[in-house]
Amino acid sequence: MHGEHTIREIFGQPDLWPRVLEGLGPELAAMPFGEVQEVVFTGCGSSYHLAETGAKLFAAWAGLRTRFVPASELILFPEVIFLAGDRVGLVALSRTGTTSEVLQAVAAFRARGDVSGPVFGITCTEQSALAAACERTLVIPSREESVVMTQAFTGTLLALANWALVQKPDPLREAALREAVRHAETPLRHSDALKGIASWQVRNFVFLGGGLLHPIACEGALKMQEMAIEASAIAYHALEYRHGPKSTVGPDTLVILLISEAGASYEAPLLDELRGLGARTLAIATSDQAAIAARADAHFLCDAGLAAGAVEAVSDAARALLYTPLLQLLAYHRAVRNGADPDAPRHLSRSVIL
Ligand code: F1P
């Protein structure tokens, strides 16, 4: 069967998440930033989407000034990122720990005489070039065999959230994150329904999400490209979609809207508008947003069983964690429908080595 590693790794998330949440405390405590003006997160592909997630979590939860930059930009255009005299923490993400651009970005940062600060890595591969290049490296306990990243993505996301909480502890957020992890099975229960949606006759996939959900929308689009070889799978900040891209909407468009905490009252009219223009719509939300989500052609609520208030306390971090497996499953089922093998997509390898 095609995609057996991928589907096993997607369904392995309820096993992985508690191990990440409970098992990495001492390592996270041993990665202090000290006095830095800013923390820059970098990576490529899915790991770049994690860099965006990490930067936003550290800003919102730890109160640190952050940025996220693709590793190639760090190598080629450092003058727009660093200023002489900066003291900056660099966080380099790579599942394999072998992606050339990430390694070169770390080396280029270290080689600068005019910018200083700690360099931390996050990878799934302990014995890797990335681990060797960083002062300290957090190892996510996931060993994926598929080319595409699925459980390693959410495992790393969870580690980033936990790391942000180490910078600035918040018992309510910690408890709520644990609660979300306890319900890791919830999104997976929608697999059969997502299989049905994956068979819809559409050609354009549009993933919309704002704030912390923007990198999740990007990851959804990337999974659809990588796994299902769908040429038209793109992501936008939700409300940006009105500013031009909307002209492309038609009956062959599937809009997947990731409803956020702060944005819900703006995102709901967007959903109605795009549906009115003929798009098929899929809304992903939490149960407090059920009425909004039900305005779409199909919707999923990701927090069934969560204690009251738990999702609100972690807000969009819990949404990011619980929404992602739905997007992975949608892409997986579309791949199977398209006759593509998600374990080994054409033209791709596990990392890009230049
Ligand atoms: C980064 C990455 C993957 C992608 C691809 C090539 O890998 O861009 O996200 O699926 O096949 O490499 P890594 O640096 O996280 O190992």
302 or 93, higher pLDDT: 93
Report H helices in 63-207.
Answer: 71-76, 100-111, 129-133, 151-167, 171-182, 185-188, 191-198
- As a whole number of angstroms, the distance between CA 146 and CA 2 comes to 11
Spell out which residues line ligand 1, taking CB within 6 angstroms: 44-47, 94-96, 99, 102, 147-149, 226, 348-352
Q: Residue 41: pLDDT above 80?
A: yes
* Cβ neighbours of 346 (radius 10 Å): 8
Query: Which amino acid does the sequence have at 83?
Result: L
Separation of alpha carbons 174 and 158, rounded Å: 11
Residue 173 tokens read as: 């957020």
Collapsed DSSP state (helix, strand, coil) of residue 79: helix
Mean pLDDT for the chain?
94
pLDDT at 45 over 60: yes
pLDDT number for residue 311: 57
Tell me: pLDDT of 307 over 70.
no
Question: For position 268, what pLDDT does the model report?
Answer: 93
Sheet holding 119-123, edge to edge: 66-70, 38-43, 88-93, 119-123, 136-139
Confidence category of residue 183, pLDDT binned at 50, 70, 90: confident
CA 289 to centroid of ligand 1, rounded, Å: 34
| Alpha-carbon span 209 to 267, nearest angstrom | 9
Over 90: is that where the pLDDT of 213 sits? yes
Number of C-beta neighbours around residue 70 at 10 A: 19
Average pLDDT score over residue span 145-159: 97
pLDDT at 172: 85
The residue contributing the CA closest to ligand 1 atom 13 is 94
The size of the chain, in residues, is 354
Lowest mean pLDDT among 84-98, 139-153, 238-252, 291-305: 291-305
- Please report the pLDDT score of residue 308 as a whole number: 57
> Which residue has its alpha carbon closest to ligand 1 atom 12?
351
Which atom of ligand 1 lies closest to the CA of 99?
14
Closest ligand 1 atom, residue 351 Cα: 12
pLDDT of residue 176: 80
| Closest atom of ligand 1 relative to the 349 alpha carbon | 11
Atom of ligand 1 nearest to the CA of 348: 11
pTM of the model: 0.96
How far, in Å, is the centroid of ligand 1 from the Cα of 187?
A: 24
Q: Which range, 137-141, 291-295, 304-308, 310-314, is most confident?
A: 137-141
**Higher local confidence (pLDDT), 173 or 298:** 298
Mean pLDDT score, 53-64: 96
Indicate the top mutation candidate among 47, 49, 151 to test ligand 1's pocket, ranked by most ligand atoms within 8 A of CB. Answer: 47
Mean pLDDT in residue range 346-354: 90
pLDDT for residue 198 is more than 90: yes
**306 pLDDT tier (thresholds 50, 70, 90):** low
Please, is 80 exposed, middle or buried when counting C-beta atoms within 10 Å of its C-beta (0-12, 13-18, 19+)?
exposed
Spatial distance between the Cα atoms of 337 and 315, rounded to a whole number of angstroms: 34
Q: What does the pLDDT read at residue 109?
A: 95
Smallest CA-to-CA distance from 233 within 246, 247, 217 is with 217
Percentage of residues in the chain with pLDDT exceeding 90?
84
Predicted confidence (pLDDT) per residue in 283-295, tens digit: 999 888 889 999 9
Nearest Cα residue to 198 out of 328, 323, 13, 49: 328
